[in-house]
């Protein structure tokens, strides 16, 4: 029973950081992962942009909005997640746990042959976490 509880706790901490690993994935694969692993997020196809190609998802309570930017080959080149400030401490703890302690709101990690930069920018009502290939 304790193993099951420990496994569930670890799984809870690991699921929210999967988004960072979208870089390089195809649009079709991203949509499948979002549908399977992020059931609390709904796709939003109402907004169109002629300059940037992206997928948009949001939570029902509007505390979380994801923009997954795609390149000309429909592969992810970056992810920007906007959160309500009420989630700030939790998300910073997740980033520190996953990538080590931050350097003034900046982290980085390796994904296959790519180096991914992670930055956090905090505004008055929300903050954004951005993952982009360096």
Alpha helix positions (H), the chain: 2-14, 27-37, 88-99
Task: Look at residue 35 and tell me whether its pLDDT is greater than 90.
Answer: yes
Q: Is the torsion defined by CA of 56, 21, 77, 83 positive or negative?
A: positive
Average pLDDT over residues 93-112: 85
Look at 110 and 91; give whichever has higher pLDDT.
91
Question: Which residue range(s) make up the domain with 95?
Answer: 2-133
Q: What are the start-end ranges of the E strands in 14-134? A: 41-43, 53-59, 64-70, 76-84, 106-111, 114-122, 126-133
**Region of residue 11 (phi > 0: left; psi between -120 and 50: alpha; otherwise: beta):** alpha
For 103, phi then psi, to 5°, come to -115, 75
- Are 70 and 77 spatial neighbours (Cβ–Cβ below 8 Å)? yes
What is the number of structural domains in the chain?
1
For the entire predicted model, the pTM comes to: 0.79
């Amino acid at each position: 029973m304790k193993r099951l509880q420990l496994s569930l706790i670890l799984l809870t901490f690991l699921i929210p950081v999967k988004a960072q690993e979208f870089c390089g994935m195809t649009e079709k694969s991203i949509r499948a992962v979002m549908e399977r692993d992020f059931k609390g997020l709904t796709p939003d196809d109402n907004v169109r942009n002629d300059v940037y190609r992206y997928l948009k998802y949001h939570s029902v309570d509007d505390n979380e909005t994801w923009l997954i930017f795609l390149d000309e080959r429909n592969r992810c080149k970056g992810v920007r997640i906007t959160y309500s400030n009420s989630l700030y401490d939790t998300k910073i703890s997740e980033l520190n746990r996953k990538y080590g302690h931050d350097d003034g709101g900046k982290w980085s990690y390796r994904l296959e042959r790519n180096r991914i930069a992670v930055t956090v920018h905090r505004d008055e009502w929300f903050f954004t976490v951005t993952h982009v290939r360096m």
